[in-house]
Structure 1
Amino acid sequence: MHDATRKQGAEVPVMTLLCLFLPLLAAIAAPVLTARLGAASAWILALAPAFSFVHFAGFLPEIAAGEVVTGGYIWVPSFNLSFSWFLDGLSLTFALLITGIGTLIVLYSGGYMKGHPQQGRFLCFILLFMGAMLGVVVSDSFLMLFFYWELTSITSFLLIGFDHERAAARRSALQALVITGGGGLCLLAGLIFLWNMTGVTQLSLLIHQGDLLRQSPYYLMALLLVLGGCFTKSAQFPFHAWLPNAMEAPTPVSAYLHSATMVKAGVYLLMRLHPALGHTPAWEILLPFFGGLTLMIGTLLAIRQTDLKLVLAYTTIASLGLLVLLTGFDSPHAVTAAVLYLVAHSLFKGALFMVAGIVDHEAGTRDMTRLGGLSRAMPVTFAAAVLAAASMGGLPLFFGFLAKEEIYAALAGGNARAILFTAVAVLGNGLMFTAAFAVALKPFIGPKVETPKHAHEAPALLLIGPVVLAVLGLVAGVASSLAHAYVSTPMASAVEGRPVPVTISTVPHLGLPLLLSVVTVALGVLAYWQLARLREVMARLLEAIGPGPDRAFDHALSGLVRVAALITRIVQSGRLEVYITATFILIAVVLLAPMFVYGELPAWPTWPKGVMLHEYAIFLLAGAGVIAVLRARTRLNAIVSLGIQGFAVAVIFLLFGAPDLAFTQFMVETLSVVILALVMTRLRLLDSDPRPLGQMLLDVAVALACGLGFALFLLRTTQGPFDQRLTEFFNAYSKVIAHGANVVNVIIVDFRGTDTLGEIAVVMITGLAILALIRMRGTSALKPADNNPDEAEGREA
């Protein structure tokens, strides 16, 4: 266990470790508790993330003072691998959002899934995801980060496909897993690049290696791989299609995974790596470009929708694009704007998704065209929706207003680039204003519309979450100085890698940002007034454009399956002789190609002097065995003749002072001949060789190539200088360490004990196979068709 920066007692790291695992432990208990207590189990299960929230909140004073908290446990010291965590303003804010909103989501899930036969399974999955996401944001080691990163993809797959009996849910879950899982592999490659470029495996050390990374020739490759992981996880264009489709999951999943937590994992990692990978032309071009494009696509598609959850899903895509844009925009206020907007978005979007779920749960539909006049029946839900929409729209006194003001302060400028991105932000924020109030007002105001269910106010478990989050968006804006002191300033300082005080307040300041805010609100109101016409325009535009990335995913997946099937048909023909031939061709290429390409051919050996007559006889015996194999008319005779070479080699070992090796060779040759002979006696073999001349010539060529390759390889090996270090080691330590005088025996039994055990297991399995063959009666199991000689020959091969 190790600590850093903050002096902690031994119980603090243990308590932090417990809080990291509490959601996972609660997930294990969820099915049992739910089966016994029903919806009331949500109150007990919510204690786990609530306890973690309180623990992490205890670090706020230290983090606000500029300290960081690290801890963990060494795993593999030789590879610098550890299970370690790193808490600064960025990771602590995310940890508080995950555990705080997670507590509300567990309570909300208890009410939303009440009476569902699989409520326990659902709560188990949501808590598993919570633990995975918490691990992502506090991880210090690369390995721990990647493990939790992929765990979020897996648990998200389980949650999106929760209603697995519906094809749409299964397809959406698969799409999310393929896209985010593929991005995870890119991230793994990027982390390996960063490891090799810097030699560190901890994020807390990597963020101080910015100069080294930016000067490396591999910087661009590492950046692209990391962006691949972040863009897929945070649904940046063109990888955004999975997020709206994830709305097939129950609403608590949408409110948690795809608004407040999982989709921000990519943004989190971009912010975390900003000090190390930022401040380069590639960073400042790629992030604003893809972020701005994603912002526009998300908002335009949002106003096209009539489903409450889909409207919110597409605005989530837009918000993520805005966060990526700000993270990559090199201006004094860009990081501060990103930090403020991230926190504000988590609060208002979580609340609005819960409101959408309440409307669906209590009214029976999420279609805005079928809703209206619910404010009297659901006044508390309506109030929460308006408060959350006001923050999303950036109205004064709300935390969203602070974020929007800071966004315009960061982007506004006199050059063409600043004007372009400012216009994108104004248009995007204006359309998000429209979408927010469409969700907050359309279902609640106007004449009463008959709904599939008799609408009434939601129970307490469903209302706690949206009310708390909506009110927090107002309280954080009014008490902005307190929010900045404990959240915004430490978070912005962590992202920038230097102290960055955040001082913006809810009191409007005359200037360009306020003017742009007024323009944004005016644009939003105008778009809300013309919402029906805008939907029609977007519908015609999308029809003219044609299929998008969502359909492209289906084509790509089906194409991948077809290519895989084609490759399988080619390389997996089902004929053993093809596999054996391919294997030996590859062996020949591996042996011969490097020697010819790199000029490593051995020198022609000289014939040794003083060869004894009996040594000549052994070589002649081996040659006679080769001739006997070639001239054998039956395979059984060929197998027996093949043993001649093995016995000749064993005699050579014996003559040159290696009796143990000779004995092993005798045993191997004997077993090989016996096993092959027993197998052949159980097969119905043809007397003649049915291979055509071309096949025989190919086999001869492959055999000669392999033989030549091994001969040249052994000659080249023996002509090199002999390295005595291993020999000297065994000679020196066999007696001292293993207390054995026979070096060979000591090597086999002690130094290579595990390997020897494996060899013994192989011999034992072989013996059992021989016993089974001997005891077999009849040949029905292996007998080929009587009237099909080709099939017989194929099985024989």
Structure 2
Amino acid sequence: MASVTGLTFLALCLPFLGAIIAPAAVRYLGHNAAWPLALFPALAFLHFAGFLPGIAAGHNVEDGFDWVPSLGLRFSWLLDGLSLTFALLITGVGTLIVLYAGGYLKGHVDQGRFFSFIFLFMGSMLGLVASDSFLTLFVFWELTSITSFLLIGFDHQRAAARRAALQALVVTGGGGLLLLAGLLLIWQITGAADMSGLLRTGGALRESPLYIAALILVLGGAFTKSAQFPFHFWLPNAMEAPTPVSAYLHSATMVKAGVYLLMRLNPAMGDTTAWETILPVFGGMTLMVGTLLAIRQTDLKLKLAYTTVSSLGLLVLLTGFGSDHAVEAAVLYLVAHSLFKGALFMVAGIVDHETGTRDITRLGGLRNAMPLTFAAALAAAISMGGLPPAIGFLAKEEIYGALAQSSPWPIILTIIAIAGNALMFAIAFAVALKPFIGVRVETPKHPHEAPPLLWLGPVLLAIFGLAAAVGSDVWHTYISSPMASAVGGKATEISISLVPHLGTPLALSALTILIGILVYWQLDRARFLMAVVLRKLGPGPDHGFDAFISGLVRLSHAVSRFLQPGRLEIYVTVTFLCLAVMLLVPPVLYGELPAMPSWPDMQWHEAAIFLIAIIGLAAVIRARDRLTAIVSLGVQGFAVAVIFLLFGAPDLSFTQFMVETLSVVILALVMTRLRLSAADRRSPLQMLLHGALAIACGLGFGLLLLKATQAPFDLTLTAFFNHYSKLIAHGTNVVNVIIVDFRGTDTLGEIAVVTITGLAILALIRIRAGGERKLAANDPEVKGATGAGRQ
């Protein structure tokens, strides 16, 4: 078991190891580095594939390492049908993406940096889906946002790429904070700090009065990550990233993280009215918004990006529908989408790489020049369009089988699903056919078939999409059924195959295809109509994001100007004002003022010391220049030192004498070296305010000390230090032992502060002296006088 644990941990770490090695590999191997680098995700894929038989038999893998046992925190992972399927997609598609990137970015000066980023992204996503602990899940959740920021903004010299990266980070990172709050609330409600523990609590979370609050927070994280309306706008803008990133982002990784979270939490948070209302409503809106906006686009990547938005909406709709068939449909469609969308994005990248354009209106007749690419695109489009013999056909049949019911709500959702699937059918074949059939169109580059590193990925993904449907029995046994069991929270067996099933689902599939063919036939007109509608609607959420960021920047500037005006006088005044409030308000509010002591009997020399202190105070207040005020201020410190001496603390008195002497000398030295006005001129109002603050702070400290001295004295520490100073520290002077031994680190910190302050003062003086020398060097009169003196 220990060896399996170690190997699984190593498999989770392999992408991060690849990130470390990638720059050196590219430096020494050049464009050939893609092959050895692809071994990192490939080996992880093989390791996770080894769990398929056991998990298919119902044996989940829960393991990890203790991190902070006292708090119950572990670095733990959970592998069941859901997380294992995601792990296989992340590593399997990731292997193909690494190879594809090796060909797509061949010769790029920053290819090593790109591989590091893609491996970090891969490791973050792999850690997210495998995490059992809430804490590790959140850490990897945010890491996916950070690494996607690096990938989207890879071409950082372009403003559009920087904007898209920032937008993705703000939206998904903000959602991550909502998720953190939601997970902490779930932890508080159920006492479970990990997913496996939460799933064992049954309906405890659903029955809590805080369920709705936890649900909203979790949905905030999931909806922003998986680009649900109205947070969908960041995903198409992420197309500013290189195509390998787009293919990976949309097929197997970050955009499905929100869907993964909803599927993972379905057994614990599902089966409620809120769950089965919010998810279908937002999922249905996202499905329609994504497909309608995709119709408007002419860029191949943007068309595919918007259909990813719609597919994510469909997955959220199915996850929240609340039936076993809907879960089965969501599972089948998630895997199908990963295969056909990854292939189509790679095809779009190949077309752009070999022709120099992705504009569908400037492409045509590429079939003979790029036969392998065309075949892969057509096979992937068949799956996306829901035609046999692809796994997309099985997914669509299950979708209609789950939604086609006689009550009003399922009917509405069925209509939405038909419309969305029909539009996705049209877009799929627009991407797969229009660039390749028809009359040959002149392109910026002479087209030809891509090298193997580019076409290998889409061809294999397209083949897998067909093989999964043809071998559906094996596929369901090891992939679909275990995944549906994990999402549904109970044993589920999927049995759908390519054998035609006459009934409502098949009829709705035929209707979907018919509408899709009609939209494809009138695609140019549909694009024009959508352009008119969007112009009528005006700016959308994307412009709203810019307005939000602009307003946030203006607000931050205003707040900064108010709170940080750059004047030390204001900072010191506010600090002392807060100090006075903290010292005076609580005792008054809670009736904790000390009893006023009687006036003590003092001898004449004791009274003289206090009189000297009062005289020094008056001298400070009446001083007409800064130097006199500094020297007069030292009188207060010397008076306090004498008081310490009178009360039997000679070592403390000596320290006070030294500190006061050094303070006066240093302050006087600084004042003479800096260019300051001789006197401190303040208005009567300022003097009144500063005097009131000084009196308030002094009064507050006085009352606090009186209250402390009137409390019963606790001799515990006194007895401890008296007993152990000699025994442990071998010192008879208890005060010295406390300072040097028991509080050694504290004393070292105080010494460090004094040292740093002295160095800062020295630097300030040297800067001032250097400035004066430069002024003298640039002054002709000084130069002449200096020259005459030398002569």
The answer to whether the superposition gives a TM-score over 0.5 is: yes
Q: Alpha-carbon deviation of 1:775?
A: 7.9
Q: Distance in 1 between matches of 2:480 and 2:714?
A: 62
> How has the CA–CA distance of structure 1 residues 233 and 720 changed in structure 2, closer, same or farther, with 3 Å as cutoff?
farther
Percent identity over the alignment is 69
Please give the per-residue CA displacement for 1:131-180, whole angstroms capped at 9, x wherever unaligned.
Answer: 12111111223332222222222221221122222222222122112222
Q: Which amino acid aligns with 2:261?
A: L
Structure 1 residue 778 displacement after superposition: 4.9
Other-structure match for 1:590:
582
Of 413, 423, 435, the residue aligned with 1:421 is 413
1:623 maps to: 614
CA distance in 1, matches of 2:486, 2:738: 55
Q: Residue 50 of structure 2 is aligned with which of 52, 58, 72? A: 58
Task: Indicate the residue corresponding to 1:668 in structure 2.
Answer: 659
Structure 2: distance between partners of 1:777 and 1:329: 73
Which residue matches 1:290?
282
| Alignment CA distance shift 1:215-1:585 (3 Å) | farther
* CA positional deviation for 1:435: 1.1
- 1:92 has 2:84 as partner: yes
Distance 1:738 1:95 in 2: 57
Provide the rounded CA distance (Å) in 1 between the counterparts of 2:558 and 2:765. Answer: 41
1:542-576: per-residue Cα shift (whole Å, max 9, x none)? 00001111111111112222222222222222222
* Compared CA separation, residues 709 and 304, structure 1 to 2 (3 A): same
User: Residues 498-533 of structure 1: CA distance to partner in whole angstroms, max 9, x if unpaired?
Assistant: 322222223232333223222222221221122111
Q: Which residue of structure 2 aligns with residue 641 of structure 1?
A: 632
Distance change (3 Å), C-alpha of 1:622 and 1:242: same
1:12 pairs with 2:1? no
- Number of the residue aligned with 2:35: 43
Which SS does the other structure have where 2:77 is aligned?
strand
SS in 1 for 2:296: coil
In the TM superposition, residue 742 of structure 1 has moved relative to its aligned partner by 4.6
Residues 513 and 685 of structure 1: CA distance in aligned 2, closer, same or farther (over 3 Å):
same
The letter of the residue matching 2:156 is H
Q: Give the 3 Å change call, closer, same or farther, for CA 336–647 of structure 1 in structure 2.
A: farther
- The one-letter code sitting in structure 1 at the alignment partner of 2:500 is P
Task: Indicate the residue corresponding to 1:407 in structure 2.
Answer: 399
Pairing of 1:228-267 with structure 2 (within 5 A): 228-267=220-259
TM-score with structure 2 setting the length: 0.92
Query: Which of 130, 135, 138 matches 1:143?
Result: 135
C-alpha spacing 1:776/1:99, structure 2 compared with 1 (3 Å): closer
Q: 1:427 to 1:625 in 2, by over 3 A?
A: same
Distance in 2, matches of 1:635 and 1:433, equals: 83
Match of 1:491 among 475, 483, 491: 483
In the alignment, the residues of structure 2 paired with residue 373 and residue 95 of structure 1 have an alpha-carbon distance, to the nearest angstrom, of 38
Q: Aligned partners of 2:264 and 2:713: how far apart in 1? A: 51
Q: For 1:413, what is the secondary structure of its paired residue?
A: coil
- Taking structure 1 as reference, are residues 297 and 608 closer, same or farther at Cα in structure 2, changes over 3 Å only? same
Q: Which of 440, 444, 455 is 2:436 aligned to?
A: 444
Amino acid at match of 1:14: G
Q: 1:711 aligned to 677, 702, 708, which one?
A: 702
Tell me which of 387, 392, 412 is aligned to 1:395. Answer: 387
**Pair 1:757 & 2:748 matched:** yes
**In terms of mean alpha carbon deviation, does 770-779 or 463-472 score higher?**
770-779
Partner residue of 2:297 out of 296, 305, 309 = 305
Q: Which position in structure 1 is the counterpart of 2:786? A: none
Match status 1:607 vs 2:607 = no
Pair 1:460 & 2:448 matched: no
The equivalent position to 1:695 in structure 2, one of 674, 686, 702, is: 686
Shift of 1:337: 1.9
Deviation at 1:256, TM superposition (A): 0.3
SS state of the match for residue 273, structure 1?
A: helix
Partner residue of 2:422? 430
Say if 1:213 and 1:277, in contact at 8 Å, map to a contact too: yes
Query: How much does 1:727 deviate?
Result: 5.0
In 2: Cα distance, 1:510 partner to 1:319 partner: 26
Shift of 1:351: 0.7
Q: What letter matches 1:222 in structure 2?
A: A
Q: Match of 1:370?
A: 362
Other-structure match for 2:375 = 383
SS in 2 for 1:446: coil
Cα RMSD between the aligned structures? 2.7
Structure 1 counterpart of 2:511, from 494, 510, 519: 519
TM normalised by structure 1 equals 0.91
CA contact (8 A) 1:684 1:784 kept: no
Unaligned 5+ runs, structure 1? 1-7, 786-797
**Quick one: distance in 2 between partners of 1:515 and 1:396?**
14
C-alpha separation in 2, matches of 1:644 and 1:653: 14
Deviation per CA, 1:678-730: give whole Å up to 9, x if none. Answer: 22222344454422222222222222332233333334444455555555555
Aligned-pair distance for 1:631?
2.4
Of 21, 43, 48, the match for 1:29: 21
Aligned to 1:334: 326
| Secondary structure of 1:425 counterpart | helix
The one-letter amino acid paired with 1:116 is: H
Q: Does 1:632 align with 2:623?
A: yes
SS in 1 for 2:206: helix
- 1:351-362 matches, within 5 Å, as 351-362=343-354
Residue aligned with 2:66, SS: strand
The aligned counterpart of 2:781 is: none
1:639-676 Cα deviation digits (max 9, x unpaired)? 23323333444444455555554444444333332322
- Kindly tell me: are residues 545 and 627 of structure 1, through their superposed partners in 2, closer, same or farther at Cα, counting changes over 3 Å? same
Q: Distance in 2 between matches of 1:454 and 1:745?
A: 85
Say whether the 8 Å CA contact 1:601–1:712 is kept in structure 2. no
- Letter of the 1:458 partner, please give it: A
Matching residue's letter, 2:614: G
Deviations 1:46-70 (Å, cap 9, x if unpaired)? 1111001001111111211222223
Contact 1:682/1:782, CA 8 A, preserved across alignment:
no
